[in-house]
Amino acid sequence: MFLLAFQEVRLVPDGTLIIHIALILIMIWVLNRTLFRPVNRIIEARERNKGGHSSEAQEILKNVGEKQSRIEAAMLEARSEGYELIERERAQAVAVRQQKIGAVKEEVAELTARENAELARQTEQTRATLAAEAERMAERISSSILKRA
């Protein structure tokens, strides 16, 4: 049934077709004047500005890259100086430590020598005391043996 409806409709070109074409052309002309040309001008201006900003943006990126490389170089230099300072301080601390260890070793050696000398003196004194005591005991024993005999 739907197909039958299309078969019965027949389009015959008449004078209204020319009027429709004229209206379409007038509408295109009006739209060009009022809408398309201003929009196209705005789009072209944006494209021109975009091209200008692109070189400006590249200049900014170039400046940023240079500044970043300078900052990185400065940070590397500061880090190197910091490591050198740490190494100097560590070497100085090691030298002070070695000096203190040497002083303590000398003090311990001196103290050990003094104590060994004191121990040797006491040993000699004890030997002398023991020898004198042994001598006295020997005299007592011999006098006691001689008295009984």
pLDDT on residue 56: 75
Say how many domains are in the chain: 1
Residue 2 counted as domain residue: no
pLDDT on residue 5: 52
Residue 74 counted as domain residue: yes
Distances (CA, A) of 15 to 19, 22, 23: 7, 11, 13
Residue 6 counted as domain residue: no
Residue 3 counted as domain residue: no
Residue 28 counted as domain residue: yes
The residue ranking higher by pLDDT, 64 or 149, is 64
Residue 1 counted as domain residue: no
- What is the extent of the structural domain holding 125? 16-148
Q: How far is the C-alpha of 124 from the C-alpha of 20, rounded, in Å?
A: 144
Residue 65 counted as domain residue: yes
- Verdict on whether the full-model pTM lies above 0.75: no
Tokens at residue 90, please?
């560590």
pLDDT on residue 38: 87
